[in-house]
Structure 1
Amino acid sequence: MKFLFIVQGEGRGHFTQAITLEEMLLKNGHEVVEILVGKSSSRSLPGFFNRSIKAPVKRFISPNFLPTAQNKRVSLSRSIAYNLLHLPDYINSMLYIKQRIQESGADVVINFYELLTGLTYTFLRPRVPYVCIGHQYLFLHKDFEFPKTNPLGLFMLRLFTRLTSIRASKRLALSFSRMSDDEGANVKVVPPLLRREVFSLHPEQGDYIHGYMVNSGYADSIISYNNTHPRIPMHFFWDKPDAAEEMKVTDTLSFHTLNDVDFLKYMNGCKAYASTAGFESICEAMYLGKPVMMVPVHIEQDCNAYDAARVGAGVVDDSFNLDNLLEFSKDYVPNRSFVHWVNSCERALLEELEDKIDQHTFFAIPALSNYF
C-alpha cells in the first residue's frame, strides 16, 4: 500500500510518531510517497526529522497556537485572532492538500492531528480514505477520565479533535494503558508509537534532571531553581528559535536545542524527567523507568498529565518546582505493564492499517451534547 502522511508541526511528538510509523511501514513492504507538514512563522522543522525521514517532505501553512506574553501557556484569544486573520492562507493550504493527495497516488492518508486535514475532507472531499493517529483521539472515548478543569476548554478540545478527523475511516488513539475500543466514536485504542532507538537503550541512573519545555518562557523558573539548588545538575531541551545548540547557563544547568540522539541520551541516563506534559516524551520516560514531572501549557496537556499521573508516571505541577519531582522519585516504581503494552505496538498498528479501510466510511459531526 502507498501512504501519504499529513503532520501537525507543533512540538516534537507528531514528528517522532511519523518517523516511527514510516520505518514500520517500510519494513513491512509498504511505501510512504510523501509527507506534508504544517508550518507557521513560529515553527521550524527540527533537524532530527529532516535527517530521519525518507519520503519527500512538503510544507503548507497551517493554524498555530500562540503563547501568552510570558511565553508559557497557550493564549486562546491570541490564537483565535491570529488564525482568523490567516483564513485565506488556510483555504489555499486545503486546496494544496487535496492536490497532493490526488497527485501522489496514495492509497491511504495518515493524519497526525492536523486540523486542515479534517477540514479538507469536509469541504473538498478527496476520494482517498484517511486514518487519524494520535493520543488526542482518546479524548473522544466514552470511558476516558478528564481532570476537573474548565468545561468550555474541554468542549473546545474535543471539538478541535473531532474537526481534525471528520469523515475519517478510523481514529487510532494512542494510550498509556489498555482500554476497550469505542465503536460509537470510531475510536480504536492502540499502544504508544515510540521510536525504535528507545527499545535498544539500557537505562542508567544518573544524578541529573532531564527536561523539555515547548515554550521557552519557563526558562526563567528553571534558572531560578538552579540558582537556589546549584548542586543539582540539569539538562533541558527547548524549541527557542535561533538558540545555540547548547547554552551553558551555569556549571550545572544547560539548555539544548532539540536533537533526537542527544535527547534520548540524556533521557536514558537521567535521575528524573521534567516536561511540559507532551505525550511522546512522557511515554519515553515511562518506558525507560524514569519518574516524571508534568507542567501543562494548555488544556490538552492538562489531560495528558492527569492521565499519566493516574497510571503512576509522576506528579503534576503548575511550575517547574523540581523539589516535588525529587520527592516523588524516592518511592517511584516503574510501570512494567506499560512496557509490555508498548512492545505490542507494531503488531496492533499494522493490523489496523493493513485491514480493509472503507473509502465510504464517513462520519458526520455528532450532536453538540456529545462534545461534553
Structure 2
Amino acid sequence: MKFLFIVQGEGRGHLTQAITLEEILIRNGHEVVEVLVGKSSSRRLPGFFNRSMHAPVKRFISPNFLPTPANKRVSLVRSVAYNLIKVPTYLNSINYIHKRIEASGADMVINFYELLTGLTYFLFRPSVPQVCIGHQYLFLHKDFEFPSANKAGLALLKFFTELTSLGARERLALSFRGMANDEKNRICVIPPLLRKEVQLHEPFRGDYIHGYMVNAGFGESVMAWHKRHPETPLRFFWDKWEEEPVKKIDDTLSFYQLDDVEFLKQMAGCKAYASTAGFESVCEAMYLGKPLMMVPAHIEQDCNAYDAARSGAGIVADNFDLGQLLDFAKDYQPNREFIYWVRGGEYTLLHLLEKDTNNYQQVLFNEMYLVEEFI
C-alpha cells in the first residue's frame, strides 16, 4: 500500500510518531509517498524530522495555539483571534492538501491530528480513505476519565478533536494502557508509537534531571529553582530556536535546542524527567523507567498528565518545582506492564491499517453534518 502522511507540526510528539510509523510501514513492504507538515510563524520544524523521514516532506500553513505573554500556558483568546485573521490562508492550505491527496496516488491518508485534514475531507470529500492517529482520540472514548477541569475547555477540546477526524474511517487512539475499543465512536485503542531507538537504549541512573518544555517561558521557573539548588545538575530541552544549540547557564544548568538523538541520549541516562506533559515524551520516560513530573501547558496536556498519573507514570505539578520530583523519585517503581504493552503494538497497528479500505464512504457521509449541527 501507498500512504500519505499529514502531520500537525507543533511540539515533537506527532513528528516522532510519523517517523515511527514510516519505519514500520517500510519494514513491512509498504511505502510512504509524501509527508505534509503544518507550520506556523512561531514554530520551526526540527532538523531530526527531515533527516529521519524517507519520503519527501512538504509544508503548509496551519493553525497554531499561541502562549500567554509569559510564554507558558496556551492563551485561548489570543489563539482564537490570531487564527480567525488567518482563515483565508488556511483555506489556501486546505485546497493545497486536497490537491496533494489527489496527486499523490496514495491508497490511504494517515492524519496525525492536523485540523486542516479533517476540514479538507469535510469540504472536498476525497476518495482516498483517511485514518487518524493520536492520543487525543482517546478523549472521544466513552470510558475515558477526565480531570476536574474547565468544562467549557474540555468541550472545546473534544470538538476540536472531532474536527480533526472528519471523514476518518477509523480513529486509532494511542494509550498508556489497554482499553476496550469504542466501536460506536470508531475508536481503536492501540499502544504508543515509540521509535526503535527508544527501545534500543539501555537506561541507567545518572546524577541529573532531564527535561523538556514546549513553551520556553517555563525556563524562568527552571532557573529560579536552579538558583536555590545549584548542586543538582539540570539538562532541559526547549523550542527556542534563536538561541545557540546548547546554552550553558553554568556548570550544572544547560538548555538544549530540540534534537532527538541528543534528547533520547539524555533521557536514557537521567535520574528523573520533568516535562510539560506531551504524550510522546511521557511514554518514552515510562518505557525507560524514569520517574516523571508533568507541568501541563494547556488543557490537552492537563488530560495527558491526569491519565499518565493514573497509569503510574509520575506526579502532576503547577510549576517546575523539581524538589517534588526528587521526592517522588525516591520510591518510584517502573511500570513493567507498559513495556509489554508497547512491544505488542506493531502487529495490531498493521492489522488495522491493512484492512479493506473500500467500505469507508458511509462513514464519510454520515458525519459530514457535525459542523452544521454545531453551528
Give the TM-score normalised by structure 1.
0.98
Letter in 2 for 1:359: Y
- Contact 2:122–2:368 (8 Å) recurs in 1: no
8 A contact 1:127–1:359 mirrored in 2:
no
Give percent identity, aligned residues only. 65
Q: Corresponding residue for 2:334?
A: 334
Moved over 2 A (4+): 365-368
Distance 1:235 1:345 in 2: 31
Aligned counterpart, 1:62: 62
Q: What are the residue-to-residue correspondences of 1:165-244 with 2, within 5 Å?
A: 165-244=165-244
User: Given that residues 305 and 316 in structure 1 are in contact (C-alpha distance below 8 angstroms), is that contact kept between their aligned partners in structure 2?
Assistant: yes
Tell me whether 1:359 sits opposite 2:355 in the alignment. Answer: no
Q: Secondary structure of 1:169's match?
A: strand
Secondary structure, aligned partner of 2:161: helix
Query: Per-residue displacement from partner, 1:117-163 (whole Å, max 9, x unpaired)?
Result: 00000011111010000000000000000000000000000000000
Alignment partner, residue 114 of structure 2: 114
Output one character per residue of 1:36-75: Cα deviation in whole Å (capped at 9) or x when no partner: 0001111111011011001001110110100000000000
**Within-5 A mapping of 1:220-369:** 220-357=220-357, 358-360=359-361, 361-362=363-364, 363-364=366-367
Matched, 1:27 2:27: yes
* CA–CA separation in structure 2 for the residues paired with 1:95 and 1:77: 27
Quick one: which amino acid aligns to residue 67 of structure 2?
A: P
Equivalent residue pairs, number: 370
Deviations 1:144-194 (A, max 9, x none): 000000000000000000000011000000000000000011100000000
Amino acid at match of 2:345: C
Larger CA deviation: 356-365 vs 201-210: 356-365
The one-letter amino acid paired with 1:345 is: G
Runs of 5+ unmatched residues, structure 2: none
SS in 2 for 1:185: coil
Measured on the aligned residues, the alpha-carbon RMSD in Å equals: 1.3
Hey, what does 1:147 align to over in structure 2?
A: 147
CA distance in 2, matches of 1:195, 1:237: 19
Once the two structures are TM-superposed, the CA of residue 241 in structure 1 deviates from its matched residue by 2.3
- Equivalent-residue separation in structure 2 for 1:236 and 1:39 (angstroms): 24
CA distance in 2, matches of 1:272, 1:333: 12
* Contact in 1 for aligned 2:125/2:167 (Cα 8 Å): no
> Residue 144 of structure 1: SS of its match in structure 2?
coil
Given that 2:110 and 2:132 are in contact with CA atoms closer than 8 Å, whether structure 1 keeps it comes out as: yes
User: How far apart are residue 282 of structure 1 and its match?
Assistant: 0.3
SS at match of 1:45: coil
Is contact 2:277-2:302 (8 Å) kept?
yes
